[in-house]
């Protein structure tokens, strides 16, 4: 493929374990205490849209302001103190750069959360583009909007972009955008539907191999 778009949470950093625990144990019981909401319903969504979704589907027991405050506090702790970087990421990005393949970090998280990750792990200059769902006034994943926008920003047609995603909503969004999708299987999401993906990988080494093999195959033609 001619560009690679990386999701952040669950792919570049192992934050999904912490986010799933936070949602399951903290925010969902507070926001919808009378409902048993599956975390998979909201995984991959922008946190502000999670509130809208919960309010529409179930009705919420806390205010939007309280909801946002809890998420922001959790983000500060998760990204500053807890997460680890995807093994071999710097080398993979260097190989893609050497091959002339543009890259983008594409996340539902806001830019200030993304900045914590890029600064902490020395990634500020590692991507050609850093894109947040906050950059567009459109629907969150599983809608394809953020990946369509990312492809336009990178200047490569969506069908020539490879997306690495982990969540059910993210995989569906990338597939709906017409990209080639590599799904990174992580324990935090359990047995979700990964069927829209073109390939499923289980380890950082498999992820690296899939990305390089796909980009080499197409960039060589």
Residues with catalytic function: 7, 9
DSSP 203: S
Distance of alpha carbon 99 from alpha carbon 82, whole angstroms = 33
DSSP 85: B
CA 135 to centroid of chain Cα atoms: 15
CB-based contacts of 148-153 (< 8 A; 24+ apart in sequence): 148/177, 150/5, 150/104, 150/106, 151/3, 151/5, 151/177, 151/179, 153/104, 153/129
Distances (CA, A) of 37 to 60, 75, 155, 184: 12, 21, 38, 24
Give phi and psi for 60, each to the nearest 5. Answer: -115, 150
CA angle, corner 6, sides to 125 and 91, nearest 5? 55
CA 191 to centroid of chain Cα atoms: 18
């Amino acid at each position: 493929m001619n560009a690679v778009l990386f999701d952040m949470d669950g792919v570049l950093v192992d934050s999904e374990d912490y986010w799933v625990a936070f949602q399951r144990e903290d925010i969902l019981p507070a926001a919808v205490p009378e409902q048993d909401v599956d975390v998979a319903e909201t995984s991959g969504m922008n946190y502000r849209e999670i509130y809208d979704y919960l309010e529409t589907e179930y009705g919420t027991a806390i205010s939007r302001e309280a909801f946002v405050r809890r998420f922001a506090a959790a983000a500060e702790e998760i990204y500053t103190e807890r997460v680890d970087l995807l093994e071999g990421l710097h080398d993979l990005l260097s190989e893609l750069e050497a091959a002339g393949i543009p890259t983008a970090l594409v996340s539902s998280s806001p830019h200030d959360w993304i900045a914590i990750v890029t600064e902490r792990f020395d990634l500020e200059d590692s991507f050609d583009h850093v894109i947040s769902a906050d950059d567009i006034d459109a629907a969150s994943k599983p809608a394809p909007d953020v990946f369509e926008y990312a492809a336009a920003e990178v200047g490569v047609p969506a069908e020539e972009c490879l997306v690495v995603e982990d969540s059910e909503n993210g995989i569906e969004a990338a597939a709906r955008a017409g990209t080639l999708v590599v799904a990174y299987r992580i324990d935090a999401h359990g047995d979700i539907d990964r069927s829209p993906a073109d390939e499923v990988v289980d380890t950082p080494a498999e992820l690296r191999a899939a990305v390089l093999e796909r980009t080499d195959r197409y960039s060589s033609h």
